[in-house]
Amino acid sequence: MKNLLSLTAAAVLLTAACSAPKLSSYAAKTDLKSKAKYDFNRSKINESGRGFAVDMTALGKMPKRIALVSFYIDDPGITKVSGTNSTGKTYNTTNTGSANGKIFANDFSSKSIETLKATFKTYGIDVLTPNEFLTDDDKKQAYNDFVVKHTTGNKIGEKFTKWVKKVGNLGTTIEMDEAADGYKLVKINKSEISDDKKKSVAIQNLNGSIDGQMIESVGYDLCKSLEVDAVMIVFNNQLADTKWARTRYWLSAVNMHILGPNPTPLKEGKKDNNLYSKGLFYCGVRIPFKKGLAINPKIKDEVKKTENDKLNYVAYNNMIAGCANKIGSYLQKELDKGKK
């Protein structure tokens, strides 16, 4: 990490000066907290515990031990249409591909975990990796067997979105999700729609989410089985397309979410309904990019290409720190409100 950060300012400015947006240009941007936007249902629980987001006053403390249960790459795919109705249309679909998705997930996770842990540590939070929270056979089995649940309404919405995409793509399947080695794919984001020209995705995805079963299964069931205070999911939205005579990859958004148990149990005699969940959003953020950032831009010089790769990881660490600081400061601020 120290070697990466010691790269010269001139090298950073060189990558930033190019017209096409590049991931490496963010190596010079060390404070990205303001760029991280809230992306979760912020409807806090009331006195009866009904709602979708935790009230830090009710929780009464910062979640001390948070399990990083998933780190994955999500690529909704790009479909390009050429031709006309009279001449016949051709559909060309591309995505990162499972093998490449795994490579990206492994690289980004391994090179950013120290920053993730160190940033949350400043808020009194310990982020645990699988080798740290899977401490016995019961936890390992619970983790490996875990399946994200979804409410009926959310399933219908997902099916409709996929149907629309399928019709537009002439029946092709282009979504790709791959988790880093050692992590389970705990997919929480809804189907994304990509912009093939901007290489971007929507500014928000889980804002206003009322998928109660997803929130409860991840925030309560998984959390309790692992015996931690909360769970964390990190995922990148990426896109792939052919440009400059080869496949190029773009980072479209960086996402970080924390979910955990509801601190307010249902009163005795009351029954669960669709307004009460044992699990809740604690916080969630997304750093979206108006135009996707090129991960492997066209660079002919091998030395500069190697330098660009190093700057990519400096840039990504800045993004992870920005997301972590946004979440940590939010939780601390909300907790402090209850102490006044």
Q: Is 16 part of a structural domain of the chain?
A: no
> How does pLDDT run across 2-29, given as a tens digit for each residue?
444 444 343 444 444 445 799 999 999 9
DSSP 199-218: TB--S-SSTT---HHHHHII
Question: pLDDT tens-digit profile of 52-86?
Answer: 999 999 999 999 999 999 999 999 999 877 777 77
pLDDT of residue 234 exceeding 50: yes
Question: Is residue 150 included in any domain, yes or no?
Answer: yes
The alpha-helical segments, DSSP class H, found in 63-151 are 98-121, 130-133, 137-145
In a domain, 17, yes or no: no
Per-residue pLDDT tens digits for 288-312: 999 999 999 999 999 999 999 999 9
118 assigned to some structural domain = yes
Full domain range(s) for residue 301: 2-8+23-337
Q: What is the pLDDT of residue 115?
A: 98
Q: Is residue 15 one of the residues assigned to a domain? A: no
Using CA atoms of 78, 84, 87, 92 in order, give the dihedral in degrees to the nearest 10. Answer: 0
pLDDT tens, 101-111? 999 999 999 99
Secondary structure of the chain: what % helix, strand, coil (to 5)? 40, 25, 35
- Cα distances from 208 to residues 51, 191, 252, 258, in angstroms, run 11, 15, 21, 15
**Greatest C-alpha distance within the chain:** 71
**Can you read off the two tokens belonging to residue 94?**
């591309």
Q: Is residue 235 within 8 Å of 179, Cβ to Cβ?
A: no
Q: State the Cα–Cα distance between residues 38 and 284, nearest whole angstrom.
A: 6
CB 231 within 8 A of CB 257: no
In a domain, 218, yes or no: yes
Q: Write 12-16 long-range contacts (CB < 8 A, 24+).
A: 12/311, 14/304, 15/307, 15/308, 15/311
Indicate the pTM of the whole model.
0.87
Query: For the chain, how many structural domains are there in total?
Result: 1
* Whole-number CA gyration radius for the chain: 21
| Within-domain flag for 293 | yes
Query: Looking at residues 32-55, what average pLDDT do you find?
Result: 96
| CB of 258 closer than 8 Å to CB of 231 | yes
